[in-house]
């Protein structure tokens, strides 16, 4: 991230509000002037915007940074047919740690998977395969032996059959898995650059493991991430150690395959609230959402409490969310990526309840989009298309009543990470110069919805993507 020469930049002839063109001066990481016309100061860099929109940088309110980097170094199974799965893993090359790592496994498309099936494909080479949801790993016998997962000291997430033998299916044990493998955190340089190219200046990392905080701080200190990062990780005694890293709500997972006891969930929520942190509760199924609402009612609500995903919710649940003033972080690109599978695996009576967006907004629920990358598409322009169109890969429409205008979805992307779904950030004097410059006016950009329309991205007045040469 290199500072613009001279430390000051004048954006000339940019759209500073829809339909309004003007100039914008940035100095010391802040917007210091907005006017129809500003005189260039001696030695000041002048960027001719050509009428392109200048916006606050976009925010992704839910993603997983290290998982994005790890996926880039893995065998991608998504889109492959079941008969080719074994051949793909059999021909895969191990990584530097000696493991074969694969992502994108879909039990609905690929069929069941356990240690015995993987043994026939990978033999004595350790292999780990991640389910597309991110909550499950499946490993073979060689991997189980290396991990010591057959021992009674293994965590409860190691699934076992009736005889006590590990099946190879590991539920939500990412921290333990990393520790046993001895894996080092991957570099986030390519991820940070990719997000900057989309116009993203703020991200919320939804990894709940407390170990995520030092990993993110390290990446920021090494200059791998130019974005501001809000972490939903668990409490840590040590302070957050980078000016662009902060703790947000605390992520709690209400696992769909094994719901927690109500009392336990109430304790977790109360502990977080006592530390002045709202909660961000992972809820996918109606049962998980109902349990979460009951727990929040007993523990008490905190401003900023949020539901992550809310993948399946009927009209009554929407009213309950609105009554409690909870906010929802939703993932529109899941419709574009997996919509056909949802239509095939979900009863027709529930199709209207899948991945709501428009009805949440109409009910008064503060709602904002997040990608859930790498499980969803990190491109915010693809998110805008998906929310507007609600079309599946085959072109069918899932939940036409949930279609949401690009303007409304963009407002969510412009809301602050600490207030997702709240008022959008706007260009104003004194505001931080976290900006994205487009090639075209906003109205045209919202018609075409292509990340190629991003001309440059700035964080704190520093160019992090596509800097324009000074004139």
Q: Specify the higher pLDDT residue, 237 or 8.
A: 8
SS3 letters across the chain: CEECCCCEEEEEEEEEECCEEEEEEEECCEEEEEECCCCCCCCCEEEECCCCEEEECEEEEEECHHHHHHHHCCEECCCCCHHHHHHHHHCCCCCCCCCEEEEEECHHHHCCCCHHHHHHHHCCCCEEEEECCCCEEEECHHHHHHHCCCCCCCCCCEEECCCCCEEEEEECCHHHHHHHHCCCCCCCHHHHHHHHHCCEEEEEECCCCCCHHHHHHHHHHCCCCCCEEEECCCCCCCCCCCCCEEECCEEEECCCCCCCCHHHHHHHHHHHHHCCCCEEEEECCHHHHHHHHHHHHHHCCCCCCEEEECCECCHHHHHHHHHCCCEEEECCHHHHHHHHHHHHHCCHHHHHHECCCHHHHHCCCCEEECCCCCCCCCCHHHHHHHHHHCECCCCCECCHHHCCCHHHHHHHHHECCCCCCCCECCCCCCCECCEEEECCCHHHHHHHCCHHHEEEEEECCEEEECCCCCC
Q: Quick check: is 381 in a domain?
A: yes
Residue 231 has pLDDT above 90, yes or no: yes
| 331 and 230 co-located in one domain | yes
Domain count across the chain:
3
pLDDT, tens digit (0-9, with 9 covering 90-100), for 121-156: 987 899 999 998 888 999 999 999 999 887 767 888
Mean pLDDT (whole number) for 403-417: 98
Residue 3 has pLDDT above 50, yes or no: no
| 447 and 370 co-located in one domain | no
pLDDT, tens digit (0-9, with 9 covering 90-100), for 422-455: 999 999 999 999 999 999 999 999 999 999 999 9
pLDDT-derived band at 22, boundaries 50, 70, 90: very high
Which CATH number characterizes residue 84's domain? 3.10.310.70
Residue 5 has pLDDT above 50, yes or no: no
Give the burial class of 218: count Cβ atoms within 10 A of its Cβ; 0-12 exposed, 13-18 middle, 19 or more buried.
Answer: middle
Q: Quick check: is 421 in a domain?
A: no
pLDDT, tens digit (0-9, with 9 covering 90-100), for 275-316: 999 999 999 999 999 999 999 999 999 999 999 999 999 999
Residue 188 has pLDDT above 60, yes or no: yes
Domain that residue 436 falls in: 2-57+430-465
pLDDT, tens digit (0-9, with 9 covering 90-100), for 331-345: 999 999 999 999 999
| 51 and 169 co-located in one domain | no
Task: Indicate the residue among 145, 163, 181 that finishes a domain.
Answer: 181
Which CATH number characterizes residue 437's domain? 2.30.40.10
Task: Indicate the residue among 156, 181, 206 that finishes a domain.
Answer: 181
Residue 49 has pLDDT above 80, yes or no: yes
What six digits make up the tokens of 171? 């539920």
Average pLDDT of the chain to the nearest whole number? 92
| 111 and 228 co-located in one domain | no
pLDDT-derived band at 217, boundaries 50, 70, 90: very high
Would you state the pLDDT for residue 2?
Answer: 40
Q: Quick check: is 420 in a domain?
A: no
Mean pLDDT (whole number) for 349-373: 98
| 203 and 302 co-located in one domain | yes
| 175 and 203 co-located in one domain | no
Q: Quick check: is 35 in a domain?
A: yes
| 47 and 79 co-located in one domain | no
Give the burial class of 286: count Cβ atoms within 10 A of its Cβ; 0-12 exposed, 13-18 middle, 19 or more buried.
Answer: middle
| 334 and 449 co-located in one domain | no
pLDDT, tens digit (0-9, with 9 covering 90-100), for 245-255: 999 999 999 98
| 38 and 106 co-located in one domain | no
Mean pLDDT (whole number) for 208-233: 94
Report the distance separating Cα 145 and Cα 154, nearest Å: 12
| 88 and 129 co-located in one domain | yes
Would you state the pLDDT for residue 6?
Answer: 41
């Amino acid at each position: 991230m290199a500072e613009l020469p001279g430390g000051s930049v004048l954006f000339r002839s940019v759209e500073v509000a829809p339909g309004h063109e003007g100039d914008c001066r940035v100095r010391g990481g802040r917007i210091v002037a907005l006017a129809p016309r500003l005189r260039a100061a001696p030695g000041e860099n002048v960027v001719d915007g050509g009428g392109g929109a200048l916006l606050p940088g976009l925010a992704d309110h839910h993603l997983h940074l290290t998982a994005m980097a790890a996926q880039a170094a893995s065998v991608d199974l998504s889109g492959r047919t079941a008969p080719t799965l074994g051949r793909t893993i059999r021909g895969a090359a191990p990584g530097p740690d000696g493991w074969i790592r694969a992502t994108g496994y879909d039990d609905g498309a690929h069929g069941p998977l356990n240690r015995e099936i993987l043994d026939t494909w990978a033999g004595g080479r350790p292999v780990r395969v991640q389910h597309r949801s991110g909550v499950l790993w499946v490993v073979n016998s060689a991997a189980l032996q290396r991990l010591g997962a057959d021992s009674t000291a293994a965590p409860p997430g190691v699934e076992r059959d009736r005889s006590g033998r590990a099946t190879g299916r590991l539920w939500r044990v990412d921290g333990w898995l990393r520790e046993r493998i001895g894996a080092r955190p991957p570099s986030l340089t390519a991820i940070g650059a990719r997000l900057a190219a989309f116009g993203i200046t703020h991200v919320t990392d939804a990894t709940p493991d407390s170990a995520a905080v030092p990993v993110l701080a390290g990446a920021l200190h090494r200059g791998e991430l130019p974005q501001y990062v809000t972490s939903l990780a668990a409490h840590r005694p040590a302070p957050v150690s980078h000016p662009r890293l902060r703790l947000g709500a605390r992520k709690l997972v209400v696992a769909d395959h094994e719901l927690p006891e109500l009392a336990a969930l109430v304790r977790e929520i109360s502990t977080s609230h006592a530390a002045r942190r709202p909660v961000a509760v992972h809820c996918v199924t109606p049962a998980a959402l109902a349990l979460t609402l009951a727990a929040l009612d007993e523990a008490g609500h905190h401003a900023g409490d949020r539901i992550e995903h809310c993948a399946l919710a009927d009209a009554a649940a929407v009213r309950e969310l609105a009554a409690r003033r909870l906010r929802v972080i939703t993932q529109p690109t899941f419709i574009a990526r997996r919509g056909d599978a949802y239509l095939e695996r979900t009863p027709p009576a529930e199709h209207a309840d899948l991945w709501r967006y428009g009805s949440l907004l109409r009910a008064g629920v503060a709602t904002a989009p997040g990608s859930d990358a790498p499980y969803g598409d990190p491109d915010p322009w693809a998110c805008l298309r998906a929310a507007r169109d609600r079309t599946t890969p085959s072109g069918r429409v899932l939940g036409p009543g949930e279609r949401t205008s690009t303007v409304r979805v963009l407002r969510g992307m412009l809301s602050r990470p600490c207030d997702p779904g709240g008022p959008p950030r706007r260009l104003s004097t004194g505001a931080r110069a976290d900006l994205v410059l487009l090639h075209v006016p906003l109205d045209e950009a919202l018609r075409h919805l292509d990340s190629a329309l991003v001309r440059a991205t700035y964080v704190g007045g520093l160019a992090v993507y596509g800097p324009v040469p000074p004139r």
